[in-house]
Structure 1
Amino acid sequence: MSNASERLDIYENMLERSRAMLENARHQEWDALIQQRARYVADVEALRRAPQGEQLNAQERQYCARMIEEILEHDRAIRDQLDARCEELTQLIGSSRRQQALVRAYNQGQGMLSQRTRPSRGTEGHT
């Protein structure tokens, strides 16, 4: 296999992984997205290590450019999905904190109420 062909294969793998990551993000399959991302990073590293000796011809460069553009589009869409998820998690955390504060306030109120309704030690049994 030629160096150029090897690099194109890596770009094709990256494109397929970016498509899979986008689908994972759209379906909120976060664990699967992370697994695909790890493979994608390995592809990027393989591309970095791939020999650069043989140059791509014009048609291959054009094909490669189209793949890179699609990868970047997927990356933007994935980031949008992740931003939306972060916002959702931020709201859930805020809601959870408010709920915890209410529970604490309620429990403190219950403690104060039970102290008010207990007979004092000096008045027990003196009626």
Structure 2
Amino acid sequence: MMPADKVLAGYEKLLKRSARMLNSAREGEWAHLVHEESTYVIEVEDLRQLEIHCELDADAMRRKADLLERILEQDTETRQRLENRRNELSELMGNSRRRRELSRTYQAPDIARARQGVR
């Protein structure tokens, strides 16, 4: 395989991994998304190293640009879904914290009265 073909194959591989990452985000499979992302980062670095030693012709550059555009579109949606999830978790943590504070506030007098034998 020619170096240019290897580079384009690498971008196609990234596109497929990006699609799996997006699907994981859509399905709420966060652990799987993290696993895919860690592999994605390694593949990006491998591709970067390969691309240093390769010059693409005009057709290959157009194909690479198309693949990158599709990867970026998927990445944008994945990031939006991650941001939405982060916001959900922040809200849940805030609600939990408020409940805990309320519980402490309203249980404290009950505990003091119980210790004194008052109801």
- Which TM-score applies when normalising by structure 2? 0.91
Instruction: Report the counterpart of residue 67 of structure 2 in structure 1.
Output: 67
Please report the RMSD computed on the Cα atoms of aligned residues, expressed in angstroms: 1.6
What is the Cα deviation at residue 51 of structure 1? 5.0
TM-score (normalised: structure 1): 0.85
Gaps of 5+ in 2: none
Q: Take 2:31 and 2:65, find their aligned partners in 1: how far apart are those partners?
A: 30
Gaps of 5+ in 1: 119-127
- The share of aligned pairs that are identical, in percent, is 37
4+ residue runs of structure 1 moved beyond 6 angstroms?
none
Residue 82 of structure 1 aligns to which amino acid in structure 2?
L
More helix by share: 2
Helix, strand or coil at the partner of 1:56: coil
Stretch deviating more after TM superposition (107-116 or 65-74): 107-116
The aligned residue for residue 39 of structure 1 is 39
- Say how many residue pairs are matched: 118
Q: Which amino acid aligns with 1:15?
A: L
1:25 and 1:81 in contact (8 A); partners too = yes
Rg larger for: 1
Q: Using the alignment, how far apart are the partners of 1:35 and 1:57 within structure 2? A: 34
